[in-house]
Structure 1
Amino acid sequence: MEPTAHSQQEAPTPSRTEAAEDLALKLNAAVRDRNMKDVLKLLEKGADVNSKAECGWTPLQSAVQADEEDLVRLLLDKGACPHARKDNGGTAFTEAAIAGNVKILELFLDCGLNINDHDDNGFTAFMEAAWYGREDALKFLYSKGANVNLRRAVSEEKAKLHKGGATALMDACKEGHFSVVKTLVQEMGADVNICDNKDRNALIHALKEGCAKERYESAVSIGHFLLDCGVDVNSKDECGKTALILAVEMRSPGLVKALLEKGEIDIDDADEEGNTALMVAVEKNDYDIAELLCEKGARTDIGNLIAVANRNRAHNMVRLLRQYNARLVSDTLKDWEPNSKRWRDQLKKLYNIYRPMIGKLKIFQYTQQRIQNTSQGGIYLGLHGGTEVAVRISRSTEGDKEKRFFEQCGNCEHLLKLFQFEKAGGYMYLCFPLWEKNLEEHLQEPEDQIGYKDALRMIFQAVRELHSLGFAHQDLRPSNFFIDLDGKIYLADFDNKRKLIEGKKELVNSDLEALSKLVLYVLTGGRKPLQQVSTEDLAADSSDYEEALDLVSSLVSHDERGLEGLSKHPYFWSKQTRFKFLKSIWNKIKDLYNRKAVFRAPNATESFPYPSWTKEIDKDVLGIMENPRKGRPFKYSNDVTDLLRLIRNLDEHPDTRISNRIGDHAEYFLKVFPALTIYVYNSLRQNPEYSNFADIQDPSL
């Protein structure tokens, strides 16, 4: 059968979307070819001026990269968006800084762009200009208010990997732009001692690239310049290499000499592999630098220097080393196992590598050995006389104050205590028993968790102990509570925000408010950040829900009981203790003439939460209780006193029919009447005449 004309296949016509995509690709290509004529034609045909090519490039960004000012102006006139971002978050403005075109930069600033705007990797236009050595663009951006000391902002995930934090000065140093480095420091006041998230300063960035032949001269020049500007010579790279070790790796005797002339440098400091500057010089068979280091007192009794020199067939080096008392040694490492599970690998590394001792303390101050950041500096792993410790490093004057404070904590059970300390080179090394995790980290890992009640008991006691010493903490965050291998919690204040109370109740009240947030944070398992968590996040079906709400409310309202009284709050009671408390109340009130008055506190705001409790309880249970096998029938009313009477009678006169029906009495009544305990407790506590009835002695507290 012949197909009809209607059924014959026709050539497909391109869809509107395909045509638009084709125009967009052609427009980007024309811009990159700097073909103004084709660009105009394509725009007239309807090409989208803000279309994106591969990796999110817009025609405007391509025009900037091509350094074509006329094209840039044309595209802006045609509606190109100067704020559009590539897939990496970069804009046409940052591209203009890379190109170094001041006129285009000025054009974009007139469009209202933020001069410190950055891409997804934290690069600003100012940083890009420094990286690519565009000095004119750098000066222009600085004149318009660019932040010279801005550190590279990165995502939380990248920050955890110690990425980011670099400045424009570090970028210029890394890329070897000596002229730009001088301009940044001398004309713009760039801080030479800011460190990135790997604790590397500008000097480290310059020297790390100095081994490359094409960067050697500029790295040496930058190194000498930064030393003259007072840069910290004790900064390390991510592998623990000091500036001295990097200078030896560069094989620059001039820089090595200049560094050694700085009195604060430790000539025997070692990297993560335990290599000192002298070991590196011997490995590289650099006789001149090795001689210089030996003359300046580098130790020759660490590392197998003679064996390395023999392997290099370096007879002169062997003679030099023997002249300075080096001996052939054979290292045998002891098989040592740390107590800590979390820090095991890093502790073993610290144990096995060479480190210059600070008294009895062995420490390696670099990122992989850092266990916590604080506003006052890092906390590092250490071994003090073989004991695993956490080490806080401070200037001697501040360290003395910190030492005196921590010594006051010596008799407290849940405040972090000072284990030992060392002093050297103007620094104080405070050593504390090593913890496994802070509270924030602990809550993120469900295995081996401490029960929430036990955790909060210890937290409350820690804050009480601090208050008893006369201090308010003022920074009760999860990261300030530390947990050891045995699950014991300790409070510390490494950010030094505590204040003397000296009768200022508002300081104590602010701690109570912060503690209320911390309670919610713990009870919700740390699922939300501390400042975002609220009572709405509590699990309403929890057996402690009502008590937890009341505890949080009491803290927020600065309850007159204070932490001492709130530490005995019903939230901390076990189920059996709560039930025992409810049973005991009837025995205390049964002989009173007006039992109902007990629950009518003068300032009470809460009404009895179960005004129809006889309808909520199991009807068979109520029937058995109202018609006991032995004794007279009794009709229970919906009053709270009668509910307490039933609870007491039920438990004092057990009936197997009831037990078989409801099981454990405490479990049943606390489930059916979850708000009863806190209602009874608060009613009694708020009634001056009967507040003593609320006192309870619970051995578990």
Structure 2
Amino acid sequence: MEPTAHSQQEASTSSSKETAQDLAFKLNAAVRDNNVKDVLELLEKGADVNSKAESGWTPLQSAVQADNEDLVQLLLDRGACPHARKDNGGTAFTEAAIAGNVNILKLLLDRGLNINDHDDNGFTAFMEAAWYGNEEALKFLYSKGANVNLRRAVSEEKAKLHKGGATALMDACKEGCFSAVKTLVQEMGADVNICDNKDRNALIHALKEGCAKKKRVASAVSIGHFLLDRGVDVNSKDECGKTALILAVEMQSPDLVKALLEKGEIDIDDADEEGNTALMVAVEENDYDIAKLLCEKGARTDVGNLIAVANRNRSHNMARLLRQYNARFVPETLKDWEPNSRRWRDQLKKLYKIYRPMIGKLKTFQYIQQRIQNTSQGGIYLGLHGGTEVAVRISRSTEGDKEKRFFEQCGNCEHLLKLFQFEKAGGYLYLCFPLWEENLEEHLQKPEDQVDYKDALKMIFQAVRELHSLGFAHQDLHPSNFLIDLGGKIYLADFDNKRKLIEGKKELVNSDLEALSRLVLYVLTGGRKPLQQVSTEDLAADTPDHKEALDLVSSLVSHDERGLEDLSKHPYFWSKQTRFKFLKNIWNKIKDLSNRKAIFQAPESFPYPSWTKEIDTCVLKIMENPRKGRPFRYSNDVTDLLRLIRNLDEHPDMRISKKIGDHAEYFLKLFPALTIYVYNSLRQNPEYSHFAGIQDPSL
């Protein structure tokens, strides 16, 4: 059978596609072979200069990796895109930094590349140059404005796993590039105390790598000494809770151990997540010299089964040394213990079991796995104070004393976070608070039937009122600052110290009211949008108490003269029965007034101008023709609607009750905007505003 013209065209197109793919494959291969002649021939045949090979590599990126300046120039001249990215987001520019070729970096930078551009893992060209110890490239990039202290940017998902956040200095430390480390610190002002997302500083990066790769011990020790001379924080920990001292012991470097111990701020008895101190590690490693040094410096010998470990290692000298410093074989047994907290159960049980040096009556572990909240002033950590589960805020004594005084003022407030206990040690103040289970942001992620929005907002309003009564405006009413305990009670905290003294500054109070309006919307929409993005448009019309909620938000935004005290009594917070009782009682208050219709807002603003057509016809007929009274025809006026509500509830009729059920449920569902209309009409009428003074007794 002869092929048709259509099938021939399809075959030709397929052949053309294969040829293009084949040319692309050959072009990338020729570039990687540094075969300029084949590259030129393939380009003449129509090979795509921006085609991609496996993992998204372009010919330009391959030429840069091959460190071939002429080939890079050729490809650029033929239209190669310098901005093209590999599958991991890397560009030719980051590859040039890895290669360390300054000429290629210049060439690419002249093509409009952002010097601080990064790949999907957050690596910039400057970081790559530091990682590979390419000092000339480092210096060039620095001279062109590279950010020395830029932290590795990663996706939100990776950040939640505490990945990223490292700097170029950390990279140089990790790879043992001592010369690059010195250049970064001495010539470029790299900050030695920045921490990555696992709370590790440059010293920890250097020592961890020294432990992992024994061939790098010498460079790690040199870097360690250098960083110590530059004031690096010696109390930083790795992701397993190991301090620099413990890592130095694991590296079996007596010189570095000694240098660390000479730093007065170091805690010789600090332990990792398994409860191992530096001395315990030295005994386990059977390193007599370091163990002796630690004992001489006062390391505790009454924690950990040191004698048993020495005996297991058949190290009689170690055992004698330990006994000389009062070590004893005392088997430790712990009673079984179950925390009250459900959220933090596993971390608390681990804290209970491991050894930690006590701070007065407090046992806590300042490392990432025991951290329950981040703040701009440092983390909040789990703790046990005299056996009570607590949240611990650690501050320098000076700042901590100010915080302590503030929290002590909150002692009589029901919904402000209170101070439970405190401890002082080594120039630090340890503030202990009753432990919470979650914050409001986390709480709203639960299914809707598990969250009582109105109850939550009642507590939030009271918390802000209490803070204002102490003379402070919060200025940071973010969901993460509202903490919820095991019983569901909400407390307002201010760990970022953004509160300000009001001192007659109305604008500070107004700022809190505006923030509270956003918070109301955030809560009522279940936290589905970030706080700063939520608006009244996100509040669905079928939201319970929709009209009252909108009015409450509007009142907060407009800095209503009622203030927070009276807005806490807003109809939104009333129960259904209270709203119905309010509507019913209004008729009793106005029925004898000749001008009762004038009390309410203009008739055109009444939301139900044809209410007699909306109500059940049988209900209206029965009410207009009562069994024991004179017939009465109700008009569409708001006063007649209030009259009907009052008469129905005061003179119940079983025929109506069987038809509509609960009176309050029926009328509030049929006329959802009636309560707020009547309330605002009365409130805004100076002569009758006192009629709006009802409130829910539960408030």
Change (3 A) 1:362 1:448: farther
Distance apart, 1:176 and its partner CA: 0.2
Q: Deviations over 1:236-285 (max 9, x none)?
A: 00000000000000000010011111111111110000000000000000
Q: How many residues align?
A: 698
Q: Deviations over 1:75-125 (max 9, x none)?
A: 111111111111111111111111101111111111111111111111110
**SS at 1:6 equivalent:** helix
Distance apart, 1:450 and its partner CA: 3.8
The answer (yes or no) to whether the contact 2:116–2:125 under 8 Å persists in 1 is yes
The answer (yes or no) to whether the contact 2:149–2:191 under 8 Å persists in 1 is yes
Q: Deviations over 1:321-350 (max 9, x none)?
A: 111111112121210111111011111111
Structure 1 match to 2:16: 16
Q: State the percentage of identical aligned residues.
A: 90
Distance apart, 1:656 and its partner CA: 1.9
The answer (yes or no) to whether the contact 2:448–2:526 under 8 Å persists in 1 is no
Distance apart, 1:407 and its partner CA: 0.3
How far, CA to CA, are the matches of 1:548 and 1:202 in structure 2?
A: 51
Change (3 A) 1:39 1:678: same
37-46 or 444-453: bigger deviation: 444-453
The answer (yes or no) to whether the contact 2:359–2:424 under 8 Å persists in 1 is yes
**SS at 1:209 equivalent:** helix
How far, CA to CA, are the matches of 2:81 and 2:9 in structure 1?
A: 43
Distance apart, 1:225 and its partner CA: 0.5
The answer (yes or no) to whether the contact 1:268–1:298 under 8 Å persists in 2 is yes
The answer (yes or no) to whether the contact 2:573–2:696 under 8 Å persists in 1 is no
Distance apart, 1:37 and its partner CA: 1.3
How far, CA to CA, are the matches of 2:541 and 2:689 in structure 1?
A: 29
The answer (yes or no) to whether the contact 2:472–2:502 under 8 Å persists in 1 is yes
Q: Deviations over 1:392-412 (max 9, x none)?
A: 111110001000000000000
**SS at 2:382 equivalent:** strand
**SS at 2:495 equivalent:** coil
How far, CA to CA, are the matches of 2:100 and 2:536 in structure 1?
A: 54
The answer (yes or no) to whether the contact 1:363–1:383 under 8 Å persists in 2 is yes
How far, CA to CA, are the matches of 1:370 and 1:502 in structure 2?
A: 36
Change (3 A) 1:687 1:220: same
Distance apart, 1:13 and its partner CA: 7.1
**SS at 2:491 equivalent:** strand
How far, CA to CA, are the matches of 2:156 and 2:543 in structure 1?
A: 33
How far, CA to CA, are the matches of 2:39 and 2:188 in structure 1?
A: 41
How far, CA to CA, are the matches of 1:6 and 1:441 in structure 2?
A: 61
Distance apart, 1:445 and its partner CA: 2.4
**SS at 1:393 equivalent:** strand
How far, CA to CA, are the matches of 2:694 and 2:406 in structure 1?
A: 35
How far, CA to CA, are the matches of 1:18 and 1:666 in structure 2?
A: 75
The answer (yes or no) to whether the contact 2:444–2:451 under 8 Å persists in 1 is no
506-515 or 354-363: bigger deviation: 354-363
Structure 1 segment 40-79 matched on structure 2, within 5 A:
40-79=40-79
Structure 2 match to 1:266: 267
1:662 counterpart = 2:666: no
How far, CA to CA, are the matches of 1:16 and 1:453 in structure 2?
A: 67
1:102 counterpart = 2:102: yes
Change (3 A) 1:607 1:4: closer
How far, CA to CA, are the matches of 1:251 and 1:451 in structure 2?
A: 57
Change (3 A) 1:629 1:127: same
Distance apart, 1:58 and its partner CA: 1.2
The answer (yes or no) to whether the contact 2:249–2:257 under 8 Å persists in 1 is yes
The answer (yes or no) to whether the contact 2:203–2:232 under 8 Å persists in 1 is yes
How far, CA to CA, are the matches of 1:608 and 1:405 in structure 2?
A: 49
The answer (yes or no) to whether the contact 1:442–1:449 under 8 Å persists in 2 is no
Distance apart, 1:516 and its partner CA: 0.4
Change (3 A) 1:220 1:624: same
Change (3 A) 1:487 1:277: same
Distance apart, 1:185 and its partner CA: 0.4
The answer (yes or no) to whether the contact 1:601–1:684 under 8 Å persists in 2 is no
How far, CA to CA, are the matches of 1:396 and 1:700 in structure 2?
A: 42
1:446 counterpart = 2:444: no
Q: Deviations over 1:582-605 (max 9, x none)?
A: 111101000001111111489xxx
Structure 1 match to 2:357: 356
Change (3 A) 1:17 1:653: farther
**SS at 1:340 equivalent:** coil
How far, CA to CA, are the matches of 1:178 and 1:361 in structure 2?
A: 40
Distance apart, 1:449 and its partner CA: 3.5
The answer (yes or no) to whether the contact 1:601–1:687 under 8 Å persists in 2 is no
Q: Deviations over 1:436-470 (max 9, x none)?
A: 00110111123883400000000000000000000
**SS at 2:392 equivalent:** strand
Q: Given the two structures, how large is their TM-score scaled by the length of structure 2?
A: 0.97
The answer (yes or no) to whether the contact 1:543–1:674 under 8 Å persists in 2 is no
Distance apart, 1:201 and its partner CA: 0.5
Change (3 A) 1:137 1:662: same
Change (3 A) 1:325 1:85: same
How far, CA to CA, are the matches of 1:117 and 1:637 in structure 2?
A: 72
Distance apart, 1:577 and its partner CA: 1.0
372-381 or 209-218: bigger deviation: 209-218
The answer (yes or no) to whether the contact 1:583–1:647 under 8 Å persists in 2 is yes
Change (3 A) 1:195 1:577: same
How far, CA to CA, are the matches of 1:190 and 1:11 in structure 2?
A: 61
Structure 1 segment 4-403 matched on structure 2, within 5 A:
14-212=14-212, 213-403=214-404
How far, CA to CA, are the matches of 1:325 and 1:641 in structure 2?
A: 90
Change (3 A) 1:2 1:358: closer
How far, CA to CA, are the matches of 2:290 and 2:53 in structure 1?
A: 53
**SS at 2:433 equivalent:** strand
The answer (yes or no) to whether the contact 1:209–1:219 under 8 Å persists in 2 is yes
Distance apart, 1:8 and its partner CA: 12
The answer (yes or no) to whether the contact 1:133–1:172 under 8 Å persists in 2 is yes
Find 1:614's aligned residue among 608, 612, 615: 612
How far, CA to CA, are the matches of 1:401 and 1:630 in structure 2?
A: 72
The answer (yes or no) to whether the contact 1:443–1:526 under 8 Å persists in 2 is yes
The answer (yes or no) to whether the contact 1:435–1:485 under 8 Å persists in 2 is yes
**SS at 1:7 equivalent:** helix
**SS at 2:148 equivalent:** coil
Distance apart, 1:697 and its partner CA: 3.8
Distance apart, 1:3 and its partner CA: 12
The answer (yes or no) to whether the contact 1:443–1:449 under 8 Å persists in 2 is no
The answer (yes or no) to whether the contact 1:576–1:666 under 8 Å persists in 2 is yes
Change (3 A) 1:447 1:520: closer
Q: Given the two structures, how large is their TM-score scaled by the length of structure 1?
A: 0.97
429-438 or 325-334: bigger deviation: 325-334
**SS at 2:379 equivalent:** strand
Structure 1 match to 2:498: 497
Q: Gaps spanning 5+ residues in structure 2: where?
A: none
Change (3 A) 1:452 1:2: closer
Change (3 A) 1:8 1:305: closer
Distance apart, 1:177 and its partner CA: 0.1
How far, CA to CA, are the matches of 1:657 and 1:5 in structure 2?
A: 83
Distance apart, 1:42 and its partner CA: 1.5
The answer (yes or no) to whether the contact 2:569–2:695 under 8 Å persists in 1 is no
How far, CA to CA, are the matches of 2:400 and 2:257 in structure 1?
A: 32
**SS at 1:171 equivalent:** helix
**SS at 1:374 equivalent:** coil
**SS at 2:605 equivalent:** coil
Q: Deviations over 1:555-591 (max 9, x none)?
A: 0000111110010001011111111111111010000
Distance apart, 1:22 and its partner CA: 1.8
How far, CA to CA, are the matches of 1:601 and 1:330 in structure 2?
A: 84
The answer (yes or no) to whether the contact 1:450–1:487 under 8 Å persists in 2 is no
Distance apart, 1:5 and its partner CA: 14
Change (3 A) 1:102 1:222: same
Change (3 A) 1:683 1:33: same
Distance apart, 1:18 and its partner CA: 2.7
How far, CA to CA, are the matches of 1:70 and 1:155 in structure 2?
A: 36
The answer (yes or no) to whether the contact 1:543–1:670 under 8 Å persists in 2 is no
Q: Deviations over 1:143-188 (max 9, x none)?
A: 0000101111111111111111110000000000000000000000
Distance apart, 1:2 and its partner CA: 12
Change (3 A) 1:601 1:392: farther
How far, CA to CA, are the matches of 1:367 and 1:403 in structure 2?
A: 24
47-56 or 339-348: bigger deviation: 47-56
